[in-house]
Amino acid sequence: MHPENILIPFQPSELPEGSWMVFAPHPDDEVIGMGGALLKAQAAGCQITLVFMTSGDQGGVSTEREAEASAVATKLGAEAVFMRFPDRGVKAGDEAQAQVKALIQKTSPDCIFFPSPQEYHPDHRMTAALVFAAQKLAGFSGQLYHYDISRQSEANHLVDISSQSAAKAELLNLYTSQLGQNNYVAVMEALNIARTYTLPKGVERAEAFYLYGSHQNDLLGTLKERAFQCLNDPLPSDSPTISVLIRTKDRHDLLRRALKSVQQQKYSGSIDVVVINDGGETVEEVLAEFRKHFWRLHSIDLPESRGRAAAANLAMSQSRGMFLNFLDDDDELHPNHLAVFIAQWRRHRETEVFYSGVRVVDKDGKKINVYKESYDRGRLLYLNYLPIHAVTFHRRFVETGHRFDESLEFFEDWDFWIQLSRQTKFYFSKEVTATYHMIGSSAASSHMTATMDPVYHLNKVRQKWMQKCTPNEWNASLNWIRQEARNGGE
C-alpha cells in the first residue's frame, strides 16, 4: 500500500498567488471552510471575489443573510456576488452553467475554489458539480481547488491558519443570524484542529484543499481515481513507472541521442517518455524510431515557443509515472541512471527526491567537471548545483501544485528544487549516472555568458526566495557560506 504522504500532506502548503474566486453554497460556508486562507490572501494583497450561490433563505431571512455576507466581504476587502439560487435548490443545468461560465469569464480569476463534492449538503455537492462544469466551458486554465466545509474530504494541500484562527472566528460571528442554529464556531475549530493531525508540532489550526491536476477530467472520475489510490496498491511489483520528460526545439540529432540514452536504460520497469517540442519543426520522424521501445512515448508540438519553464510544466502535466526525471535534449542518461534511483527507492521507500552524480563535458566530449556534491539545503538556497537530469522526484509534488516559475528565463530548475527542498529531504548517490554537455542553452554553460548575465538571473531567484524563506532557512545558507570560506571554497 502507499505510504501516508501520498494521500495527505505532512508539511503546510503555500497559498496560491493571484486573484481568487470563491464559490460558497450559503453565506458563512466560505468562512467555515476557508476563512483563514481568505485572511491570509487578503494580507498578501490578493483580489478576492466571493460568489454566494444561495442567500440561505431556509436558514433565515435572505436579506439579512446577504447583509451579513456583505459585511464579511467588506472585512476581507472582497467583492460579493449573489447568484440567488433557491436554498436547497442549486442545480447544474445548462442555464446555471451559462451563468457561472459568464461570471468566470468576466472576472478571469487565477484561482477558483468550490466546496468538496464529498460534502453532505446537496447545495454543497451541486455547487461543486456546477462550478466544475462551468469552468470547463469557460476555458479556465488557472488553479482549481475544492475545500472542506462540514467534513474532512480528499486533500492534497493543508494551509497553516494558526495565526488567523481568532480573526476567522470573528468573521464567523458576523453571521449573527446563524449563531443560534448550531455551535458553528466550535465545529469549525474542531475541523481545523483535526486537519493538523499530519502537520508538524506548532501548527494548531489548518484548512484543507484539493488541487485538481487537470481541469478537463470528469469530476466523478477524479474522485474514483483518488479512492483507488487509497484502497489499491498501483505498484504490484517493486518497479513503478518512471516518466522521462524532454524539452526540445530544432535539435533533431541531439534529441535522437537523448532518446537513445533513455532506450538503453537497464531499468526493467515501465518508462513513460514525454517530449515537448517548444515551437520547433516537427520531431515526429525522430520519435517514430523510438515509439516501440517505451511503455509510452507522448509528444506535444507547440505552434509557438512558450519558454523553458512553460514547456517543463506542460511536460509534468502530461506525465503518467509515479516518479519523474527531466532530460534536456542535449544531455544523456547513462544506462544505470534509473536503476540507481530505483535501488535507492527500494531500500528507502520514503525517498521522494533523489539525485546522483553528473559528468560535465565540453563540445569535444572532454570531461571538465563532475557534479557529485552531497545534499545541503543551505547550499541549494545559495546556488544551484543540481543539473536538471540528475534529479528524480515523486509525482505528488506535481499533484500538490508545485510548478516551474514561468517568469524565470533561466535557473527555473533551481527554483523548482528549492520548492521541493522545503517539502522533503533529498537523497544522494555519488555514483555518476548522466552526462551534461556544455553546448546547450543552460545558464550553467560557459558560452551562455555572452548572451545572458548569469549574476542577474541568479539574483532574480535569490530575491524571490528572500521574501519567502524563514530565518532558519537563511541561517542554514549562511552557515554553509561560512563553512565554504573556512575551507577556502568559493
Q: Out of 66-80, 123-137, 178-192, 220-234, pick the least confident.
A: 220-234
Do 443 and 479 fall within a single domain? yes
pLDDT in tens, 282-325: 999 999 999 889 999 999 999 999 999 999 999 999 999 999 99
Do 135 and 195 fall within a single domain? yes
Tell whether 370 is covered by a domain.
yes
What CATH number does residue 258 fall under?
A: 3.90.550.10
Q: How confident is the model at residue 383 (pLDDT cuts 50, 70, 90)?
A: confident
User: Cα–Cα distance between 151 and 171 in angstroms, integer?
Assistant: 20
Percent above pLDDT 90 for the chain:
68
- Is residue 58 within 8 A of residue 121, CB to CB? The reply is no
pLDDT at 228: 59
Do 403 and 430 fall within a single domain? yes
What stretches of 242-343 adopt beta strand conformation (E)?
Answer: 242-248, 271-278, 296-302, 323-326, 332-333
For β-strands 426-437 and 353-361, DSSP reports them as parallel
C-alpha cell at 383: 546556488
Instruction: Provide the terminal-to-terminal Cα distance of the chain, rounded to the nearest Å.
Output: 45
Residue 273's identity, in one-letter code, is: V
- Torsion angle defined by CA atoms of residues 80, 72, 36 and 401, in that order, rounded to the nearest 10 degrees: 0
The answer for 296, left when phi > 0, alpha when psi is -120 to 50, beta otherwise, is beta
C-alpha cell at 125: 455537492
Tell whether 490 is covered by a domain.
no
Do 158 and 14 fall within a single domain? yes
Residue 216 neighbours by CB distance under 10 Å? 7
User: Cα–Cα distance between 437 and 333 in angstroms, integer?
Assistant: 11
Q: How confident is the model at residue 447 (pLDDT cuts 50, 70, 90)?
A: very low
Tell whether 237 is covered by a domain.
no
- Is residue 359 within 8 A of residue 277, CB to CB? The reply is no
Do 177 and 246 fall within a single domain? no
What CATH number does residue 178 fall under?
A: 3.40.50.10320
Q: How confident is the model at residue 327 (pLDDT cuts 50, 70, 90)?
A: very high
State the average pLDDT over residues 435-457. Answer: 62
Name the percent of the chain in helix, strand, coil, to the closest 5: 40, 20, 40
pLDDT at 487: 75
Residue 488 has pLDDT above 70, yes or no: no
Do 214 and 266 fall within a single domain? no
Do 204 and 273 fall within a single domain? no
Do 204 and 309 fall within a single domain? no
Q: Out of 42-56, 228-242, 264-278, pick the least confident.
A: 228-242
Q: Out of 252-266, 341-355, 371-385, pick the least confident.
A: 371-385
Question: Residue 398 sits in which domain range?
Answer: 242-484
pLDDT, the chain, mean? 89
User: Cα–Cα distance between 110 and 137 in angstroms, integer?
Assistant: 16
pLDDT at 363: 87
State the average pLDDT over residues 385-393. Answer: 96
SS3 132: helix
Q: How confident is the model at residue 448 (pLDDT cuts 50, 70, 90)?
A: very low
Tell whether 345 is covered by a domain.
yes
pLDDT in tens, 435-444: 999 875 543 3
Name the domain boundary from 173, 197, 231.
Answer: 231
State the average pLDDT over residues 406-416. Answer: 92
- Cα–Cα distances (Å) from 417 to 123, 216, 318, 359, 488, in that order, read 41, 28, 20, 20, 26
pTM exceeds 0.85: no
Q: How confident is the model at residue 347 (pLDDT cuts 50, 70, 90)?
A: confident
- Is residue 344 within 8 A of residue 351, CB to CB? The reply is yes
State the average pLDDT over residues 165-181. Answer: 92
Do 209 and 302 fall within a single domain? no
- Cα–Cα distances (Å) from 259 to 170, 234, 284, 389, 430, in that order, read 58, 27, 13, 13, 24
Do 218 and 288 fall within a single domain? no
Tell whether 177 is covered by a domain.
yes
Q: How confident is the model at residue 214 (pLDDT cuts 50, 70, 90)?
A: low
- Among 49, 55, 112, residue whose Cα is nearest residue 76: 49
Neighbouring residues of 56: CB distance < 8 A, sequence distance ≥ 6: 26, 27, 28, 62, 65, 87
State the average pLDDT over residues 67-81. Answer: 97
Residue 343 has pLDDT above 80, yes or no: yes
User: Cα–Cα distance between 175 and 185 in angstroms, integer?
Assistant: 11
Residue 59 has pLDDT above 90, yes or no: no
Tell whether 1 is covered by a domain.
no
Do 280 and 168 fall within a single domain? no
The answer for 45, left when phi > 0, alpha when psi is -120 to 50, beta otherwise, is left
- Among 447, 461, 378, 376, residue whose Cα is nearest residue 414: 461
What total of structural domains would you count in the chain? 2
pLDDT at 426: 95
Q: How confident is the model at residue 64 (pLDDT cuts 50, 70, 90)?
A: very high
Length of the chain counted residue by residue: 490
Residue 215 has pLDDT above 60, yes or no: no
Neighbouring residues of 107: CB distance < 8 A, sequence distance ≥ 6: 19, 21, 49
Do 214 and 246 fall within a single domain? no
Whole-number CA gyration radius for the chain: 24
Name the domain boundary from 202, 231, 260.
Answer: 231
pLDDT at 40: 97
Name the domain boundary from 189, 212, 231.
Answer: 231
Tell whether 489 is covered by a domain.
no
